[in-house]
Copies of this chain bind each other. A is one copy, B any other.
């Protein structure tokens, strides 16, 4: 029995509220000049006040040593096994632009690229093709017909697009044609299993027709494909946890992720303060609020320590308004660490706090990596966050007689 099967057995619907704030890329590392991490440098009075009233700890997103992408990092926080429930790129991109996928849909991320007269890639992003131009080319590719499947081509941004192949028995066991380097001829799609041979043939026919349409152009005259994927089998959060959950996220990918987990979402943003306002005004409509803040991760990935500090201060400011709502459970978590000195996602455990009733005592008075390391929750797998939050919200009944 999986953890989710167990939770589903004891979950009950109650009026209690859970605010679930995910600060993307939350965890950091000390700056070599000051010995202080981003969180230790930032002025975050609200987070510190929350930490003082909370149980604190450190979460391992996927497993010790593993650096997660944002997909597995979030899945774990929502109580899904991030390894068996891996959402691959095609599906994630499709969900991110609001496409509703069905069980017969095979999604893949496409790039317009430029090839020379021998078919060798000279520019993997076709000079970061303007979105408007990409939109026109996508409309042309969208008209391609291949027997046995319906095909949709949707622009994303710049040179990036998503293709949906819809038909019975399609397999996603297909190798990428995007080899992530220039100077090579993109290979045909290759089936990784016997079951995928017919799917490979269909997609190769599509690619050949795309080449026919684009080939005369000086640039953006070819496509590469990456992350073939079908919808993973994810139980909707509402069903498994008996919740009525909503997402407040400004980035398409996180909205997409929330949709894949069966959450509703609100059009919100662009600032975190806007997200907080929207949460406050819809507070009566839902019982679980996933509110996602992207800025900390972006600054961390840019390797900009000071920008990450500012992002953390930006998220701190309106938190007081969320505290005033007095939800039964207030979680602040991160999907992974993004230390600015690394300029990348990392494997380091992530600070975590949960303000709630029925807490054990905790002496943590500030929301930092080292303070949380001494918290009463200790270091624990991110997958255990949801059961804890549900329990403290009174949403789990007794197991067994």
Q: Which residues of A contact B (CB under 8 A)?
A: 1, 3, 6-7, 10, 29-30, 35, 62-72, 82-84, 86-89, 92, 227, 339, 341-342, 344-349, 358-361, 369-370, 373, 376-380, 384, 386-391, 396-401
Measured in the bound complex, the distance between the Cα atoms of B373 and A69 in whole Å is 31
Q: Evaluate contact between A400 and B347: CB separation under 8 angstroms.
A: no
A67 contacts which chain B residues (CB < 8 A)?
10, 391, 396-399
A64-B388, A348-B358 known; 4 new pairs, CB 8 Å cut-off, are A71-B401, A88-B401, A339-B358, A378-B378
Residue of B with least CB distance to A363? B370
Question: Whole-angstrom distance from the CB of A163 to the nearest CB of chain B?
Answer: 16
Alpha-carbon distance A373/B89, docked complex (angstroms): 41
Which of B70, B348, B376, B397 is within 8 Å of A373, CB to CB? Answer: B376
Neighbour of A82 across the interface among B3, B347, B359, B400, CB < 8 A: B400
Q: Provide 30 A-B residue pairs closer than 8 Å at the C-beta atoms, listed in order of the A residue.
A: A1-B83, A1-B84, A6-B63, A6-B83, A7-B66, A10-B66, A10-B67, A30-B361, A35-B361, A64-B384, A64-B391, A65-B390, A66-B387, A66-B396, A66-B399, A67-B398, A67-B399, A70-B401, A71-B400, A82-B400, A88-B401, A344-B398, A345-B398, A346-B358, A348-B358, A360-B373, A370-B376, A377-B379, A378-B379, A379-B380
Do B400 and A65 touch (CB < 8 A)?
no
- CB proximity of A39 to chain B, nearest CB, Å: 12
Minimal beta-carbon separation of A92 from chain B (angstroms): 5
Given the contacts A10-B66, A29-B360, A358-B29, A347 and B401 also touching, CB distance less than 8 Å: no
CB–CB B65/A396 < 8 A = yes
Beyond A72-B400, A83-B6, A348-B360, is A65–B391 a contact (Cβ under 8 Å)?
A: yes
Report the separation of the CA atoms of residues A373 and B370 in the bound assembly, to the nearest whole angstrom. 15
CA distance A276 to B387 in the complex (A): 38
In contact, B29 and A86 (Cβ under 8 angstroms): no
- In the complex, the count of this chain's copies comes to 2
Q: For A35, what are the chain B residues with a Cβ–Cβ distance below 8 Å?
A: 361
- Point out the residues of chain B lying under 8 angstroms from A63, CB to CB: 3, 6, 384, 387
A226 to B238, CA, bound (A): 29
Contacting residues, chain B, for A84 (C-beta < 8 A): 1
**Chain B residue nearest to A72 in the complex (CB):** B400
State whether A68 and B400 are in contact (beta carbons under 8 Å apart), knowing that A84-B1, A391-B347 are contacts in the complex.
yes
Instruction: Say whether B72 contacts A399, CB under 8 Å.
Output: yes
Q: Provide the residues of chain B in CB contact with A347, threshold 8 Å.
A: 387-388, 391, 396
B-side contacts of A349, CB under 8 Å: 360
A108 smallest CB distance to B (angstroms): 12
- How many Å from the CB of A110 to the closest CB on chain B? 15
Using Cβ atoms and an 8 Å threshold, which residues of chain B touch A400?
Answer: 62, 68-69, 71-72, 82, 86-87
CB-defined contacts of A10 to chain B, threshold 8 Å: 66-67
Please tell me which one of the listed residues B3, B359, B376, B401 contacts residue A69 in the complex, with CB atoms under 8 A apart.
B401
Q: How far is the CB of A197 from chain B (nearest CB, A)?
A: 24
Q: Which of A29, A345, A360, A389: most chain B Cβ within 10 A?
A: A360
Chain B residues with Cβ below 8 Å from A62 are: 6, 399-400
Name the residue in A72, A83, A84, A86 with the highest tally of chain B Cβ atoms < 10 Å from its Cβ. A83
